[in-house]
A = this chain, B = another copy of it.
Amino acid sequence: MMRTRPLKVALLGCGVVGSEVARIMTTHADDLTARIGAPVELAGVAVRRPDRVREGIDQALVTTDATALVKRGDIDVVVEVIGGIEPARTLITTAFEHGASVVSANKALLAQDGAALHAAAEEHDKDLYYEAAVAGAIPLIRPLRESLAGDKINRVMGIVNGTTNFILDKMDSTGAGYQEALDEATALGYAEADPTADVEGFDAAAKAAILAGIAFHTRVRLDDVYREGMTEVTAADFASAKEMGCTIKLLAICERAADGASVTARVHPAMIPLSHPLASVRGAYNAVFVESDAAGQLMFYGPGAGGSPTASAVLGDLVAVCRNRLSGATGPGESAYAALTVSPMGDVVTRYHISLDVADKPGVLAQVATVFAEHGVSIDTVRQSGKDGEASLVVVTHRASDAALTGTVEALRKLDTVRGVASIMRVEGE
């Protein structure tokens, strides 16, 4: 039975994503009506610059007063694509208070205040959906919280930032250094003028917090995520990775500890074997690898950003939220019942690839090996090379805790024969 009164949608923000959402709502109106069971109507668009011409959007719908728009009381769904913490946070909670459900693409806000926003949604019996906040168009939030709802997820490991993957892929395929690859990414529009949020891992860390929270039914805040950017990755690191049959990716890794009682979430560059499915993710694409008890290994791959892909995810959520509204139900809310401990980085157990500049004289390897042994870090392979009194030593360890590795490196730095620690990189996906 088709309802004729349309569902009213308020759009907050009309940039790259918002304008695409508005465009698809107009051009695909019949499809959306059929799939929802009622028409959807764009009831208002809140923007900062009202005078800018926005093709296909009725100027009468445009307002600079976002607060008044979400307070109207007749809005069914607020679509928030402004980004940032404020005013997005206040607008979303105000929307709930005034009877609307919310679809958001705001990873920073959800990573920081997801619990409070979910609580506000629940208090007012409204939906909060945010598929677009993680990995753009790739269906990931819904599969994790619905498709795998009967399974136990042990690890989520992925490439969730397209800018850094573009840069690392470029370094890998051309031998370019970081700055050169970044310049190309900027010129092609893959990197912003200020790339800090991407290259320092802040963007990926926000996504890791959201993914870990859903995967482990545990609140994980942005502050809980260990974060290391990829600005220090060098062409020499890629050369080392190649010798090991690996490449380097900036990974977001959310893991359940072996004892099951705690979890960790982290973002850092890591070597992964070329045979791993994530190694072949090229350019600005994203991919997320999920390991669970029953399903085994799953991977989700696609464009992680961009106006159209992000709009696709927003509209999928919009259809779901509208359907829920028509049936008087709400979808899954926050699930944090497991309340597992979020452990610090020191507790993470993985393998390491360490490059040392050492004096080229007898006994150095024995000294270095002793330091590893004293800290309980077992060595898998060592490669020595050198000439003219200088040498380099590449050590790959077996699995050890990050704390043990940190202690090892501190002690190595104190050795007279160690001139410097050229790089430390984690080895994942083996």
Binding site for B on A (CB under 8 A): 20, 24, 28, 31-32, 34-35, 131, 137-139, 142-143, 146-152, 217, 277, 280, 292-303, 306, 308-309, 311-320, 323-324, 327-330, 332, 335, 337-338
Contact = CB atoms under 8 A, between A and B. Distances in A.
Given A150-B319, A329-B327, A295 B280 contact: no
Given A28-B150, A294-B311, 16 more contacts: A20-B294, A24-B151, A31-B338, A35-B217, A137-B295, A137-B296, A137-B298, A139-B148, A142-B142, A150-B311, A150-B314, A150-B317, A150-B318, A151-B315, A277-B301, A328-B328
Contact of A149 (B320, B328, B335): B320
A296 to B, nearest CB: 5
Given A131-B147, A150-B318, A138 B298 contact: yes
Contacts of A335: 34-35
B150 A316 contact: yes
B298 A299 contact: no
Contacts of A317: 150
Nearest to A145: B35
Contact of A294 (B32, B294, B315, B324): B315
Contacts of A35: 149-150, 217, 335, 337
How many protomers of this protein does the assembly include? Answer: 2
A333 to B, nearest CB: 10
Given A34-B217, A312-B295, A332-B323, A139 B149 contact: no
Nearest to A285: B297
A425 to B, nearest CB: 25
A138 B298 CA distance: 7
A248 to B, nearest CB: 20
22 contacts: A24-B294, A28-B152, A31-B152, A34-B338, A35-B149, A35-B335, A137-B295, A142-B143, A147-B316, A149-B320, A150-B319, A277-B301, A292-B312, A293-B312, A294-B309, A299-B302, A300-B300, A301-B301, A323-B332, A327-B329, A327-B330, A328-B328
Given A139-B143, A142-B147, A295 B314 contact: no
Nearest to A303: B296
Contact of A146 (B32, B142, B329): B142
Contacts of A311: 150, 294
Contacts of A277: 280, 301
Contacts of A217: 31, 34-35
Contacts of A143: 139, 142-143, 147
Contact of A316 (B149, B293, B315, B320): B149
A315 B142 contact: no
A320 to B, nearest CB: 6
Contacts of A293: 308, 312
Contacts of A312: 148, 150-151, 292-295
A137 B293 CA distance: 11
B319 A295 contact: no
Nearest to A21: B150
A316 B146 contact: yes
A137 B280 contact: no
Contacts of A24: 150-151, 294
A31 to B, nearest CB: 7
A110 to B, nearest CB: 17
B146 A320 contact: yes
Given A316-B150, A316-B151, A296 B301 contact: no
B297 A302 contact: yes
Contact of A301 (B299, B306, B309): B299
A338 B328 CA distance: 26
Nearest to A36: B149
A139 B298 contact: yes
Contacts of A328: 327-329
A310 to B, nearest CB: 9
A287 to B, nearest CB: 8
Nearest to A290: B302
